[in-house]
Amino acid sequence: MQNKITGVIFDMDGVLCDSERFICDAAMEMFLRRYETKVHPNDFLPFIGAGENRYICGVGEKYGIEIKLPDDKTCMYEIYLELIKGQLPPLDGVLDFMATMRSCGVKLAVASAADRIKVDGNLAEIGLSQESFDAVITGSDVTKHKPDPECFLMAAEAIGVSPENTLVVEDANNGCLAAKAAGAMCLGLTTSFPTEQLIASGADWTAAHLGCVPDELMKILTG
């Protein structure tokens, strides 16, 4: 029998908004400014969803660069927050899906590997406040990043819902792996990775965005 879903935990990037290209552009510019090194978008793909430390350190390792934290990350975020001004709407279906979940009494949380400064900046740009959610967990709140399930377990506890009664909405392979490790159900959105990769990483359902959630899942959510 399918578990009842009483909580939905959203990843941020690629789920609520499409900021991947902006953080990638900001990171590439950081490498240029601070190390005079041209890196490429594909360099970052293995590290999507693993937190910004790993995001830039992983690419640094590839090019033999020892990343200086937190200074390099601070530089990246300064560039990022300028890039997203007026350029970061919510993804299709986000606001309607959240409204539907609220009407059904489902608790809502964000659990992002991104640092608090990035999450706060994203929420402000897409027109959602911290109060739009029952809990907001960021990479600044955890010690282990996806694919470790810590952020999802922390979010489930914060909203008072057992992991097995939560749906995690993710767009990254690392995030889907973390959701399943937490014991949650998982909807994988194909904004960053193709369907077959998300399913291989544990997604129970996939969709292009929150405006076209599979009927089977919507019945579970609203039933």
| pLDDT (0 to 100) of residue 212 | 97
Question: Is the per-residue pLDDT at 203 higher than 90?
Answer: yes
pLDDT tens-digit map of 69-100: 999 999 999 999 999 999 999 999 999 999 99
What is the distance, to the nearest Å, from the Cα of residue 132 to the centroid of all Cα atoms in its chain?
A: 16
| pLDDT (0 to 100) of residue 145 | 87
Regarding pTM above 0.85, the answer is yes
Banded model confidence at residue 1, pLDDT cuts 50, 70, 90: low
Query: 122, 17 in Cβ contact below 8 A?
Result: yes
| pLDDT (0 to 100) of residue 48 | 83
Q: CATH for 7-18+89-222, among 2.60.40.10, 3.90.190.20, 3.40.50.1000, 1.10.760.10?
A: 3.40.50.1000
Could you give the CA distance from residue 74 to residue 147 in angstroms, rounded to a whole number?
24
| pLDDT (0 to 100) of residue 156 | 98
| Sequence-ordered list of residues with C-beta below 8 angstroms from that of 128, at least 6 positions apart, any chain | 16, 90
For residues 155, 98, 162, 139, the Cα torsion angle rounded to the nearest 10 degrees is -10
* Whole-number average pLDDT of the chain: 95
Banded model confidence at residue 50, pLDDT cuts 50, 70, 90: confident
> Taking residues 24-46, what's their average pLDDT?
97
Greater pLDDT, 49 or 18:
18
Cis omega (within 30 of 0) for bond into 147? yes
Tokens representing residue 183 in the block:
């014991």
Any catalytic annotation for residue 13? yes
pLDDT tens-digit map of 94-136: 999 999 999 999 999 999 988 899 999 999 999 998 899 999 9
Choosing from 13, 18, 141, 204, the catalytic residue is: 13
Any catalytic annotation for residue 11? yes
| pLDDT (0 to 100) of residue 154 | 98
